[in-house]
Structure 1
Amino acid sequence: MNASRVPGRFAGRDVVVTGAAHGIGRACALRLAAEGARVAVLDRDLAAAQALVPELAGTGHRARAVDVLDDTSVRAAFDGLTVHALVHVVGLALTRGGVEEAGDEEWLADLDLNLLGAVRCARAALPRLREHASSAVVLVSSINALAGLGCEPYAAGKAGLGTLALNLTRTHARYGVRTNVVAPGTVRTRVWDGQPGMPDAWADWYPLGRVGEPEDVAAAAAFLASDDAAWITGHVLPVDGGFLANVR
């Protein structure tokens, strides 16, 4: 279902995962710890973040509360952390409205969470990332950023992550900081709770015959955060089971 873990690939490295208590973020934290990373588990749900720490392989992990809508909270969460890699997972479609249906407040809320939240975390991480010869930022976007699938405010915020990665590459690759984006398709997370038959009802849209699991995205994020991707920066990697082949 996903690539095999690479034991020791992150040995001696500290990785911050935002939105790490649930779903894709949780899978990323588990994957990175299994590969030797010391993981800072950042989430608004501090209790769930703290509960995850004992489940992580290895030692040296910690949990901290963070609200990515609040720059003071973000800076406090990063205070004192060593950061070899940032995996920023936080994101959510706050409105299903389109250009005409969604008002300014709805647009601003989606952009604040999905784009500016990433900017705040990158801004806090960059001085720490530059302390190392090789470091990485991985931003989690969505295939909504790459195709006309609706949810325009969410899609616009996620699309901005690709441009953010390009510009961070231009300004920070010289310091050894690589910045890439993963764009998942439909993934089995708690956003589908209470919706009978979902998300599997979407499976026929995917050439590989199934929707994604959080571990599929975690495998891609771990690759891009690792030195196996040492010459890859400024790119958006769809992790979508072939979905985009059906809509382009």
Structure 2
Amino acid sequence: MRRFDGRVAFVTGAAHGIGRAIAVRLAAEGAAVVVADIDGEAAGALAHTLAERGGGALATHCDVRDREAVRSAVAAAATRFGRLDVLVNNVGVAGEWDFERTDDEEWARQADPTLQGTVRCVQEALPHLLHAPGGGSVVTIGSVNGLSAFGGEAYSAAKAALVSLTQNLALRYGRRGRDLLGAGPGWVRFNLVAPGTVRTRVWTEQGAERLAELEKLARQYPLGRVGEPEDIAAAVAFLASGDAAWITGAILPVDGGITAGHPTFFYDLP
């Protein structure tokens, strides 16, 4: 499928893991991709790979904690490609899991890039998205932690806030987006993908103990495995595409069924 021919997608946290899979998927479907990441070297390497495959690609250093960095990255994308159609907010930071040990500094370390970083990216991208032919699309990566109680209160609270942010912005920039502009497409769709546990480097590059924990977690999922980055990328590509033209304000769990019910409630696992 070439659902993104002629379109430009800006993906944050795009150099590794889920973000990388999203960038690769959108490029494979025809998008010119802005690979935005705090790891500029890895972003550059991925953009080079995408360009070698025949797609438009731009690497930009982007720290979502820094308003000026976000503004500069979005401006560079608009200058290079002349438009912006899709924004994928993929940055999220987890950390201390013990609530009583999560002080103000640690809470901000997790919440600022996850929540406020998303806000900064949306605010800076909106002027371009509102003028996207056919309407703009924003897909934010949330988490099942934002939908149900899985611990990690700082991370989970920030992810839960993204749900409310997505729904509110979907209303504000649907019909009202056209009202604000008075001409042109003038609307932006906002949707959120909520992954469960995904096999990324936080698991695979932390030694045998973490890998064993990952395999144990897999048994808790009704579909019998944890997610792969490509599972999330497929959902993002759908929501960002014209196939989802009448979908906005949606919260899509991509979680192997974990939020539907813990399998140990019903079955004895081997």
Question: Shorter-chain TM-score: what band?
Answer: over 0.9
Structure 1 unpaired stretches of 5+: 1-6
**More deviation in 166-175 or 68-77?**
166-175
1:178-217 correspondence runs (5 A): 178-192=189-203, 193-194=205-206, 195-217=210-232
Q: Is contact 2:238-2:244 (8 Å) kept?
A: yes
Correspondent of 2:241 among 223, 226, 246: 226
CA offsets 1:14-33 (integer angstroms, 9 cap, x no match)? 00010000000000000000
- Paired with 2:190 and 2:119, the residues of 1 have a C-alpha distance of 12
**How far does residue 97 in structure 1 lie from its aligned partner after superposition?**
2.2
| TM-score of the pair, normalised by structure 2 | 0.86
1:41-190 correspondence runs (5 A): 41-56=35-50, 57-80=53-76, 81=78, 82-98=83-99, 100-132=100-132, 133-174=134-175, 175-190=186-201
Larger helix percent? 2
**How far does residue 52 in structure 1 lie from its aligned partner after superposition?**
0.6
- 2:14 matched to which residue of 1? 20
**More deviation in 86-95 or 20-29?**
86-95
- Paired with 2:17 and 2:199, the residues of 1 have a C-alpha distance of 8
**More deviation in 217-226 or 87-96?**
87-96
Q: Which amino acid aligns with 2:130?
A: R
Identity of aligned residues (%): 52
Q: Is contact 2:136-2:188 (8 Å) kept?
A: yes
Which entry has the higher C-alpha Rg, 1 or 2? Answer: 2
**How far does residue 199 in structure 1 lie from its aligned partner after superposition?**
1.8
RMSD: 1.3
Q: Which amino acid aligns with 2:239?
A: L
Partner-residue secondary structure (3-state), 2:60 = strand
Q: Is contact 1:33-1:58 (8 Å) kept?
A: no
- 2:180 matched to which residue of 1? none
- 2:181 matched to which residue of 1? none
Structure 2 unpaired stretches of 5+: 176-185, 266-270
What is the count of residue pairs matched by the alignment? 241
Q: Which amino acid aligns with 1:244?
A: T
